Structure 1
Amino acid sequence: MYITQGLHRSMQQQPDAIAVRYQGNGLTFAEFGGRVARLAGALRSLGIRDGERVAMFSLNSQRFLEYLMAVPWAGGVLNPVNIRWSAAEILYSFEDSETAVLIVDDTYRDTGAQVAADCRSLRHVIYAGDGETPSGMLGYEELIAQHEPVEDALRHGNDLAGIFYTGGTTGFPKGVMLSHANLYTSAMNSLMAGSLGKEARFLHVMPMFHLADFSAVNSLFISGGRHVIVPSFDAGTMMESFASEQVTDVLLAPTMIQMGLTWLEQNPDRAAQLDLSSLTGIRYGASPMSQALLARLRQRFPKAGFMQGYGMTELSPAATFLLRENHSDEAVSSGKVRSVGKPVNTVEVRIVDPDGKEVPRNTVGEIAVRGPNVMLGYWKQPEATAQAVRNGWMHTGDGGYMDDDGFVFLVDRIKDMIISGGENVYSAEVENALASHPAIAQSAVIGVPHVKWGESVHAVIVLRTGASTTLEDIQAHCRAFIAGYKVPRSIEFREALPLSGVGKVLKNELRKPYWNQ
């Protein structure tokens, strides 16, 4: 298994088919593969050898897609940069991984130059923008034009394919080492689940540095589907792209879904002009989605099939899928739609106690995963690896339970669980109750210090445009759905919630004013 295998196959079997569309332009598989092979030749000429790290700090683009294939083609190891990080976090990840080459676009050119000036391991910076190449950098297009294509290095199997850094919000990030086999089997699991076939036109609107999008990249290259790319998420641009490119499939975080639906509601005249009928596959993940939001989505796209993925970077990234058939009216009424589905084809999942022993069905414990998707380990952190992966099982840190039919229900990150007066409160359950309140657009629930109970339930709320409510009204609403001890004891209103690059709410940022005193 090697992650360039699908590209090779499409270059042979459908060289004239469109591989990628970006900013109104298209490249065939033959054209795209030729650029990849030339970029790989340039990287080899810059001294990149088998296993050496190459980073990209960029918005989504055709060149980002070329990077994802050219680095392994050259024998190197991918190190995509989280665009939400500070210069200090990026510098740490580069020096920790001994990254040798950095590719930057126009948006991050200046920050990239700042990091490069301080980084001891970087030998070259490549400018992948559209302006004049800055002094001290190499031009991306010039490198492709000046170098001949090279043969694929064909690193494969358990060879290291990428280091994907996680965290960075508290302490130093950890580099997750994923092999070619990790990434390839994860991509195949998506295809076996019935998504992203040869006729797919997939919109890359999630950031391409994120592993969830990279998994879709690999699935599409294997199947021969089309990549449609927008630089970053914008609700209006996304909807326009669905129509203009006749997109069939997309992967979104729930926050993106909410913003997209809100855009359609706030722009009814433009929305009425958009033909969105091609969109038949909507995949979601990265954080839990409320039942109220899912109901809105199903109502707006009644002919679309929905699929949820649950996992983490350390799992390459998928552990379970809630398939299209599990989003039916029957699944909604039975409650199965509230689950994250069943283990993907090549993976085992079990729910364990603190000693690693499997707990009975319908009992909350920690979700543990075993299979060929489990990471090689954390870069240069053998102790952290040994703590996370025990007897072949990746301990996710997520709390959940498995029902009698084998569906996995996610209740919370174990570290996010609120213990109030000796009772466990799972924030996701409270957030689901809040989501059905007509005035609430978004919410995040955290535990805050309390003298008597240790912690109390606190809700941070973003209201719908023009809406208003009170603590008492919210509490009365929640009591109809959850037990009294789970009802928020305090609230605060904000214009927006702090989000990561893929739409996850940064709860640690919300906790800081309460716990860092």
Structure 2
Amino acid sequence: MARLAAALDGLGVAAGDRVGVLALNSDRYHEYLFAVPWAGAVLNPVNVRWSPQEIAFSLRDSDTRVLLVDDTFAGLVPALRADTPRLRTVIHCGDGPTPEGTLSYEDLVAGHEPVADARRGPEDLAGIFYTGGTTGRSKGVMLSHANLVASALGSAASGVFLGPGGRLLHVAPMFHLADLAAWSARCLLGGTHVILPSFTPAGMLAAVETERVTEVLLVPTMIQMLVDDPAAGDADLSSLRRVIYGASPISEAVLDRASRVLPNCEFTQAYGMTELSPVATLLSPQDHRDAVRRRSAGRAAPHSDVRIVDPEDVEVPLGEVGEIVVRGGHVMMGYWERPEETAQALRNGWMHTGDGGRMDADGYVHVVDRIKDMIISGGENVYSVEVENALAKHPGVASCAVIGVPDEEWGERVHAVVVLAAGAQVEPEELRAHVRAQIAGYKTPRSVEFVDALPMSGAGKILKRELRARHRAPEPAR
């Protein structure tokens, strides 16, 4: 760590300069997360699921001059150099031969003596973390050292996030704030990091067995893939004690299946976003045993204040739907070089999440939908998450997404996009009847579309903007 920081110094990296990493999870990623702040520089973990054009945009936008790449992404270097003229140095952090035009990670570390920690201050910029772009162009979220520590300390202090001395498995991508939250808390509390390059059900099952993993952070799509894997029932998962999940909603059906496959595990849900470093609320294992509370996102974490407000930022009565807003030491510094969007998001001292939700009398936050994803059909508000939960309870549904599509009669109609479970044969009307039996008729999908897979972001979120684009009316000829 201190040797890598020295190498960065030797390459001309100055205080505040951005250093990127484009790599799968590894021990070198772990070292990068420590070494860049040690050198006084700024982290820029790159989304490994982006296209080369999107990666180049983030490097240009943040003016990243030094980039670490592993074997998986070394082939992109020529194109990235061509699209990012100010990228001056590429460090190869893989195990294969060092590609031409790049520097060897291990040679750099071996060739430098350790340097002292630059000791950046709490309010200094720690990293620029790009949003997944699920609703539009990706933005660089500026998080300070104080932001990251506040979220990690508050989450750890809750007593329901991670415990002291555990063995944490990293299978969620380390570029994402969800995994970074767990990484930070485990570093603060002490313990062991077990790192896999990426998630596969087989890889996770083997790692839990051989490394006696005690805790893991997963996104709901990973949980679904794990519990659907036939090998999960035969694996020795007795060491696993806690599953933390978040980043996107989880259906009750998937959660029920996960509880059966992992009967010795406690589940903790973390709700938040990149702009909140990332944790805002936590749903404890005890709350998961309550039929009503388990459908919520939990209560404010110790470091977080949460309110529900109307469009004029007036707090709404308990039980009414409004926008979820958050304040605390974990709220971002702002969006990189986007002052207008920063001012819009951080109005009146609160981070406006863009999520619609309500709060009950006990302070539990119920997320109903992204405000942009809310469907208005025939003058009625329909929250896609509610419809998706109803659909997911059908045994023939593997995964689903609900969107609003243009409709001449209703303005928007509720449209379901469904991936069927292996071997399942289900007709649209059967799914519609299944949903109608659980929720109001006007919320029932008026149309159903079957697909082989849903478009996903690098963080495992369904890209509803891509689904909506398929149904957008073509632009009139000019």
Band the TM-score falls in, shorter-chain normalisation: over 0.9
How does the TM-score come out when normalised to structure 2? 0.97
Q: 1:455 aligns with which of 369, 387, 412?
A: 412
User: What is the aligned partner in structure 1 of residue 316 from structure 2?
Assistant: 359
User: What is the aligned partner in structure 2 of residue 97 from structure 1?
Assistant: 62
The question of 1:428 aligning with 2:374 is answered no
> Could you tell me how far 1:173 is from its partner in structure 2?
1.8
Q: 1:324 aligns with which of 275, 285, 292?
A: 285
Alignment of 1:411-426 (within 5 A): 411-426=368-383
User: What is the aligned partner in structure 1 of residue 150 from structure 2?
Assistant: 185
> Could you tell me how far 1:84 is from its partner in structure 2?
1.3
The question of 1:440 aligning with 2:406 is answered no
User: What is the aligned partner in structure 1 of residue 43 from structure 2?
Assistant: 78
d(CA) in 1 for partners of 2:320, 2:354: 16
d(CA) in 1 for partners of 2:395, 2:270: 27
AA at the equivalent of 1:341: G
User: What is the aligned partner in structure 2 of residue 256 from structure 1?
Assistant: 222
CA contact (8 A) 2:132 2:457 kept: no
Q: 2:189 aligns with which of 223, 242, 252?
A: 223
The question of 1:212 aligning with 2:173 is answered no
User: What is the aligned partner in structure 2 of residue 139 from structure 1?
Assistant: 104
Q: Deviations over 1:171-225 (max 9, x none)?
A: 5321100000000011112211223233210110100000111111111111111
Q: Which sections of structure 2, spanning at least 5 residues, go unmatched?
A: none
User: What is the aligned partner in structure 2 of residue 37 from structure 1?
Assistant: 2
SS state of the match for residue 267, structure 1?
helix
> Could you tell me how far 1:93 is from its partner in structure 2?
1.4
User: What is the aligned partner in structure 2 of residue 10 from structure 1?
Assistant: none
AA at the equivalent of 1:118: D
> Could you tell me how far 1:170 is from its partner in structure 2?
6.1
User: What is the aligned partner in structure 1 of residue 325 from structure 2?
Assistant: 368
SS state of the match for residue 21, structure 2?
strand
AA at the equivalent of 1:252: L
Q: 2:31 aligns with which of 66, 88, 110?
A: 66
> Could you tell me how far 1:325 is from its partner in structure 2?
1.3
The question of 1:409 aligning with 2:366 is answered yes
SS state of the match for residue 150, structure 2?
helix
AA at the equivalent of 1:215: A
AA at the equivalent of 1:310: Y
How does the TM-score come out when normalised to structure 1? 0.90
d(CA) in 2 for partners of 1:182, 1:170: 24
d(CA) in 1 for partners of 2:155, 2:372: 29
SS state of the match for residue 218, structure 1?
helix
SS state of the match for residue 471, structure 2?
helix
AA at the equivalent of 2:208: F
Change in CA separation of 1:211 and 1:516 when aligned onto 2, cut-off 3 Å: farther
> Could you tell me how far 1:471 is from its partner in structure 2?
1.4
Q: 1:173 aligns with which of 103, 125, 138?
A: 138
AA at the equivalent of 1:222: L
The question of 1:125 aligning with 2:98 is answered no
Q: Deviations over 1:292-345 (max 9, x none)?
A: 1111111222221110000000000011000111112xx12xx11100000010
d(CA) in 2 for partners of 1:124, 1:197: 39
CA contact (8 A) 2:134 2:457 kept: no
d(CA) in 1 for partners of 2:205, 2:391: 27
> Could you tell me how far 1:117 is from its partner in structure 2?
3.0
Q: Deviations over 1:367-386 (max 9, x none)?
A: 00010010000011110000
Moved over 3 A (4+): 167-172
SS state of the match for residue 353, structure 2?
strand
User: What is the aligned partner in structure 2 of residue 114 from structure 1?
Assistant: 79
d(CA) in 2 for partners of 1:91, 1:301: 41
d(CA) in 1 for partners of 2:471, 2:349: 38
Change in CA separation of 1:319 and 1:209 when aligned onto 2, cut-off 3 Å: same
User: What is the aligned partner in structure 2 of residue 245 from structure 1?
Assistant: 211
CA contact (8 A) 1:103 1:125 kept: yes
d(CA) in 1 for partners of 2:219, 2:134: 19
d(CA) in 2 for partners of 1:474, 1:68: 46
CA contact (8 A) 1:49 1:76 kept: yes
User: What is the aligned partner in structure 2 of residue 499 from structure 1?
Assistant: 456
d(CA) in 1 for partners of 2:201, 2:78: 31
d(CA) in 2 for partners of 1:430, 1:481: 9
Q: Deviations over 1:149-180 (max 9, x none)?
A: 11010102110000001144565321100000
d(CA) in 2 for partners of 1:436, 1:510: 22
> Could you tell me how far 1:515 is from its partner in structure 2?
1.2
Q: 1:513 aligns with which of 466, 470, 473?
A: 470
> Could you tell me how far 1:104 is from its partner in structure 2?
0.2
The question of 1:277 aligning with 2:241 is answered no
AA at the equivalent of 2:13: I
The question of 1:289 aligning with 2:250 is answered yes
SS state of the match for residue 406, structure 2?
strand
User: What is the aligned partner in structure 2 of residue 315 from structure 1?
Assistant: 276
d(CA) in 2 for partners of 1:405, 1:477: 32
Q: 1:468 aligns with which of 425, 443, 446?
A: 425
RMSD (Å) for aligned C-alpha atoms: 1.1
AA at the equivalent of 1:72: P
d(CA) in 2 for partners of 1:112, 1:193: 43
AA at the equivalent of 1:255: T
d(CA) in 2 for partners of 1:387, 1:180: 23
d(CA) in 1 for partners of 2:454, 2:269: 23
CA contact (8 A) 1:85 1:168 kept: no
The question of 1:302 aligning with 2:292 is answered no
CA contact (8 A) 1:196 1:225 kept: no
Q: Which sections of structure 1, spanning at least 5 residues, go unmatched?
A: 1-35
d(CA) in 2 for partners of 1:150, 1:113: 32
d(CA) in 2 for partners of 1:73, 1:241: 30
CA contact (8 A) 1:197 1:225 kept: no
